[in-house]
């Protein structure tokens, strides 16, 4: 019964953050007035309307804008992760690699920039932004190669840096991130529709903030390299650009006082909290007492698991105010510092670490953690789940939980347990959803 309820909860949560639906709910066109989250734009004031976009959710977002704008749409182009495309009527669609960029990321970036440069002072450019956009959309300064970019991205993913730190580095070796795309579009008006995959929904960090002012600096980027002790390991061309920028030899990203942002409008249309609210509604509908712990979980997955397991132990023992049947819910995006040679992702690692903390329990429960994009790390799973029988099952299969965890090999652990969660590409991305039914 718990597993069936959990599966329905996940289904409804993903439906709530469907990009097409989110745009249709918040963007409308009536009597030549484009309304975006209550802000009105008189289309008679504009000549041509362009749509460009990047990220895992860009295809359904583009489809929604095509349906809304109809014949008013002049041209468009978006780039998505391989396998995340769909048929569009007028907007060109390109596929590229994620999380480590390939040559198609740069090729698609060039197409989007060429289109953006066509916009004149009387035109409107609608920018569709979602998680994954940082890797999928880029143009590099002279001297920095695709291989340099790929090496830096992999290094940042492996070292345990959080998404804001990763994006600080990305913004400072890019010609489009950190508000630079807004500069390319200017003097045309920019309206950005944004699906947030970053804790707290900071505009400058989502897909590295291509249309938002950037508060970080080249010096900040250098300090992150120092923090994770990778300064000497990053490609020489990357370090040289960051150092030149810190020394004032390269212009920094545009800041909030730059007048180009006078004609830029950024709207968050989807976030993790929407998915959590949907989880809560579905659990309550099934008769569970609900409580949302936080939409801002972050830090090392192993440490986050210890905190969650401690809360669950207290809840199972009746030491807090929420009583069974109950559902505890959380969201966010933990990180993993890769030390082993196994296969997994932050959600799978989190669930395995929780299992290691809980071990055996007499309480019937179902706990899971999944990435809303359907992809957890470099795997085909969105996450994993455990219940009161998982510890005994692992012992019966002679699976050493600690060894799998130390080798960052949660995928193969849960594959053998037949407890992976596989949704396939969801074409949305609002971080992770975590919950426990008991």
220 and 111 assigned to the same domain: yes
263 and 284 assigned to the same domain: no
Domain final residue, candidates 270, 299, 331:
270
24 and 122 assigned to the same domain: yes
Tens of pLDDT along 258-274?
999 999 999 999 999 99
Rounded mean pLDDT, 93-117: 96
388 and 260 assigned to the same domain: no
Tens of pLDDT along 298-311?
999 999 999 999 99
Model pLDDT, residue 66: 98
Is the residue at 3 inside a domain? no
For residue 385, pLDDT beyond 90: yes
Is the residue at 279 inside a domain? yes
Per-residue pLDDT band at 232 (split at 50, 70, 90): very high
Per-residue pLDDT band at 127 (split at 50, 70, 90): very high
Is the residue at 398 inside a domain? yes
Quick one: which H or E segment has residue 433? strand 432-437
Is the residue at 6 inside a domain? no
108 and 222 assigned to the same domain: yes
Per-residue pLDDT band at 210 (split at 50, 70, 90): very high
Tens of pLDDT along 398-430?
999 999 999 999 999 999 999 999 999 999 999
* Token representation of residue 272: 């993790």
Is the residue at 300 inside a domain? yes
Domain carrying residue 49: 17-270
Model pLDDT, residue 153: 85
- Bridge partner list, 11: none
Rounded mean pLDDT, 285-310: 97
Model pLDDT, residue 99: 86
Domain final residue, candidates 249, 270, 291:
270
Domain final residue, candidates 270, 300, 319:
270
How far, CA to CA in Å, does 281 sit from each of 7, 287, 316, 370, 436?
14, 10, 22, 18, 14
224 and 288 assigned to the same domain: no
Beta strands at 49-54 and 124-129: parallel, antiparallel or unpaired: parallel
148 and 258 assigned to the same domain: yes
The structural domain count of the chain equals 2
Q: CA angle, 39 as apex, 61 and 275 as ends, to 5°?
A: 45
* Token representation of residue 436: 């426990």
Model pLDDT, residue 157: 83
Model pLDDT, residue 108: 98
The per-type count for the chain, helices as H runs and strands as E runs, is 16, 15
Percent of the chain with pLDDT over 70: 100
Percent of the chain with pLDDT over 90: 95
Rounded mean pLDDT, 240-253: 97
Q: What does the alpha-carbon distance between residue 79 and residue 135 come to, in Å, rounded to a whole number?
A: 10
Model pLDDT, residue 152: 92
Is the residue at 11 inside a domain? no
Model pLDDT, residue 187: 97
Q: What is the DSSP letter of 300?
A: B
Is the residue at 1 inside a domain? no
133 and 257 assigned to the same domain: yes
Residue with tokens 């994009």: 373
266 and 279 assigned to the same domain: no
Give the CATH number of the domain where residue 210 resides.
Answer: 3.40.50.10180
261 and 332 assigned to the same domain: no
88 and 62 assigned to the same domain: yes
For residue 202, pLDDT beyond 90: yes
Tens of pLDDT along 324-348?
999 999 999 999 999 999 999 999 9
For residue 81, pLDDT beyond 90: yes
CB under 8 Å to 43, separation ≥6 — which residues?
Answer: 29, 32, 33, 34, 49, 72, 124
297 and 265 assigned to the same domain: no
For residue 104, pLDDT beyond 90: yes
Model pLDDT, residue 192: 98
Give the CATH number of the domain where residue 370 resides.
Answer: 3.40.1480.10
* Token representation of residue 120: 């004149």
The answer to whether the CB of 212 falls within 8 A of the CB of 266 is yes
Tens of pLDDT along 311-320?
999 999 999 8
Model pLDDT, residue 345: 97
Tens of pLDDT along 45-79?
999 999 999 999 999 999 999 999 999 999 999 99
Is the residue at 9 inside a domain? no
For residue 160, pLDDT beyond 90: no
Tens of pLDDT along 9-31?
999 999 999 999 999 999 999 99
Per-residue pLDDT band at 162 (split at 50, 70, 90): confident
How far, CA to CA in Å, does 331 sit from each of 6, 150, 202, 296, 357?
15, 28, 16, 6, 20
């Amino acid at each position: 019964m718990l597993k069936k309820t959990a599966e329905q909860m996940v289904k409804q949560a993903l439906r709530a953050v469907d990009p097409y639906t989110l745009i249709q709910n918040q963007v409308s066109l009536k009597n030549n007035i484009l309304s975006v989250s209550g802000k009105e734009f008189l289309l008679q004031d504009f000549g041509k309307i362009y749509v460009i976009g990047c990220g895992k959710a860009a295809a359904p977002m583009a489809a929604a804008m095509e349906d809304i704008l109809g014949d008013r749409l002049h041209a468009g182009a978006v780039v998505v992760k391989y396998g995340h495309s769909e048929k569009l009527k007028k907007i060109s669609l390109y596929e590229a690699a994620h999380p480590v960029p390939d040559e198609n990321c740069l090729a698609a970036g060039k197409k989007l920039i060429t289109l953006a440069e066509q916009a004149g002072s009387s035109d409107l450019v609608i920018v569709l932004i979602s998680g994954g956009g940082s890797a999928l959309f880029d143009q590099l300064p002279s001297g920095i190669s695709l291989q340099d970019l790929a090496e830096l991205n992999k290094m940042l993913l492996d070292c345990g840096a959080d998404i804001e730190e990763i994006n600080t580095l990305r913004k400072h070796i890019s010609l489009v991130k950190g508000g630079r795309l807004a500069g390319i579009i200017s003097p045309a008006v920019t309206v950005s529709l944004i699906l947030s995959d970053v804790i707290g929904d900071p505009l400058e960090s989502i897909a590295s903030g291509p249309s938002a002012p950037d508060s970080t600096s080249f010096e900040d980027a250098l300090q992150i390299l120092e923090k994770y002790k990778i300064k000497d390991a990053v490609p020489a061309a990357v370090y040289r650009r960051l150092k030149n920028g810190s020394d004032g030899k390269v212009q920094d990203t545009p800041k909030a006082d730059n007048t180009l942002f006078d004609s830029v409008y950024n709207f968050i249309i989807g976030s993790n909290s929407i998915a959590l609210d949907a989880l809560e509604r579905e659990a309550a509908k099934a008769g569970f007492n609900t409580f949302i712990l936080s939409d801002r979980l972050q830090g090392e997955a192993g440490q986050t698991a210890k905190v969650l397991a401690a809360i669950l132990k207290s809840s199972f023992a009746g030491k807090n105010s929420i009583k069974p049947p109950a559902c505890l819910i959380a969201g966010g995006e933990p990180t993993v510092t890769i030390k082993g040679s196994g296969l997994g992702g932050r959600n799978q690692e989190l669930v395995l670490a929780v299992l290691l903390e809980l071990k055996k329990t007499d309480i019937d429960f179902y706990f899971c953690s999944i990435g809303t994009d359907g992809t957890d790390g470099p795997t085909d799973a969105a996450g994993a789940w455990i219940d009161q029988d998982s510890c005994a099952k692992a012992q019966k299969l002679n699976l050493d939980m600690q060894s799998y965890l130390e080798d960052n090999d949660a995928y193969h652990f849960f594959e053998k347990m037949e407890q992976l969660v596989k949704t396939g590409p969801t074409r949305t991305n609002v971080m992770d959803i975590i919950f426990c039914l008991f």
